[in-house]
Structure 1
């Protein structure tokens, strides 16, 4: 989100989940003053060569159906934000692969919590989880906004999660929302956390550093920090984000395996009740 160029890209497959993502993307594109790009990925060429119209039936055929879905996506965006600059692209192939490729140089990639793969996209993690590991820009997975006036929650690990923190700051600034920065100390189940003052001070230092960075990146944003201790880092983050407008998490490495994405981002993507932003750079 730190780039000056690029669009907000939204994947659309005609589902209600994808429509919600397009509406969210349209509002966000308008809020930050950039263009929007609606993309539909048709799977039909992978399954059949018969894409043309049925003889004698006007407007029929799988390719025309795909174009109609794309047009519907654009219509959803322009209905949500009249006058928004929206372009559209029809691609053919697997959605996760194509959207990852198209994400290079873009501001954000927005997808619904389900859909985009039809019967090839099975669960919440099938497309969004792969994009969280392979996209070249931040990936927003949109679910119902239970707390539209809530804070943006940024999860920071021992590294300070600078990309996630910067993205969270940018969201909080444009939404005029408070920011809550959360760091979780892991305590294995059945064990009491025994550590010296240095380790405890280290955890506080992570939050202090994050607070300083947030003040520099988004000086107008009200920021609070929270240090938690839990046997499950994702569980602690999800509890801290129960009233959040969005939770922002970082990710690790490349690839589609849970371990390379990061178990925390993986768990938050699956279990968060509201929108999630997975901060991505490169890809």
Structure 2
């Protein structure tokens, strides 16, 4: 298979959890792993080397090297068979990781880094990278649930189509099934054509639900042939999309969502549903950009 998985580290517990998840992803994919630390201090007028009055191993640069070495060690202990490289790159984390995403198949980050505000469920780097990354971005909030399915949110948008592709590929790699969930309300569901032309709003009971079930079936069309070994469950839920996905994520290995759905405002790179998942899902969240999101 091959390819490259990139993981960002900053010395936080969340970052090390991301390293473990990234190492497993690299193993499943047969890919190399690159452990990256964004070294912002190099851009500032501060001494980087050890103090003449301190130990030789002190200083900001040595600290950055130790963070990366710790990440490499954690990755190697998690997946010894994976080829692990590393780099300390000068720059702001979002800029560095966005650049790294241009040559990667997947970028993995923790939900909150060392610089986050206390009480935040997910940090700004994770949110902004999910919006701007050039490949799927996996944000590790909570551990994967062993034995659960790969959950994917489906709404028929281009980014949702990309998320479906990602979910099936992930399920095949992990040896799990897919749970494809589509949620709707009477306010966001397009009405099917009226059955009686003389009554423009007349539809038989269940017509809207049937139309939403067709949307889900069409979004999944052809995937069974590509991934015949992946079991698939469908769920069409009448209710709030965010609530439905958060509840389903409690038993999922991973959740895949599009960066921006069909109901989002034009120009937004990250929609309200994907942002809510980053903050509240009970499993790692993969945000996948589609052809309609400016990727």
> Normalising TM by the smaller chain, what interval?
0.7 to 0.9
Q: Secondary structure at the match of 1:260?
A: coil
Partner of residue 73, structure 1: 71
Structure 2 regions of 5+ residues with no counterpart?
Answer: 189-200
The count of residues paired between Structure 1 and Structure 2 equals 271
Number of the residue aligned with 1:266: 275
User: What does residue range 1-283 of structure 1 map to in structure 2 within 5 Å?
Assistant: 6-55=3-52, 57-115=55-113, 118-119=115-116, 123=120, 124-145=122-143, 147-159=145-157, 161-187=160-186, 196=203, 199-230=208-239, 232-252=240-260, 259-280=268-289, 283=295
Q: Hey, what's the Cα distance between the residues in 2 that align with 1:239 and 1:120?
A: 26
| Structure 1 position 107, deviation (Å) | 0.9
Measured after TM superposition, the shift of residue 88 of structure 1 is 0.6
Separation in structure 2 between the aligned mates of residue 195 and residue 137 of structure 1, nearest angstrom: 44
Once the two structures are superposed, residues 8-65 of structure 1 have per-residue CA deviations (whole angstroms, 9 ceiling, x without a partner) of 1000111111111101111111111110010011222344331122125311211111
Aligned pair in 2 of structure 1 residues 30, 195: CA closer, same or farther (>3 Å)? farther
Is the contact made by 1:125 and 1:270 (CA closer than 8 Å) also made in structure 2? no
> Structure 1 pair 125/202, CA: closer, same or farther in 2 (3 Å)?
farther
Q: Is the 8 A contact 2:50 2:56 kept in 1?
A: yes
Structure 1 106/146 Cα, relative in aligned 2: closer, same or farther at 3 Å? closer
Cα separation, 1, equivalents of 2:267 and 2:16: 27
Decide which moves more: 117-126 or 213-222. Answer: 117-126
Change (3 A) 1:178 1:83: closer
Structure 1 length-normalised TM: 0.87
**Long gaps (5+) in structure 1:** none
Q: Tell me which stretches of 4 or more aligned residues in structure 1 moved more than 3 Å.
A: 119-123, 194-201, 257-260
Give 1:131 deviation, angstroms: 0.7
Q: In structure 2, the residue corresponding to 1:261 is in which secondary structure?
A: coil
Structure-2 change in CA distance of 1:259 and 1:195 (3 Å): farther
CA distance in 2, matches of 1:259, 1:134: 11
| Contact persistence 1:113–1:128 (CA under 8 A) | yes
CA distance in 2, matches of 1:258, 1:240: 29
- Give the Cα separation in 1 of the matches to 2:99 and 2:284: 23
195 and 10 in structure 1: CA distance in 2 versus 1, 3 angstrom threshold:
farther
Change over 3 Å in CA distance of 1:92–1:122 after alignment to 2:
farther
Instruction: Tell me the SS of whatever aligns to 1:24.
Output: helix
Alignment TM-score, normalising by the size of structure 2: 0.84
Correspondence for 2:196 = none
Larger Rg: 2
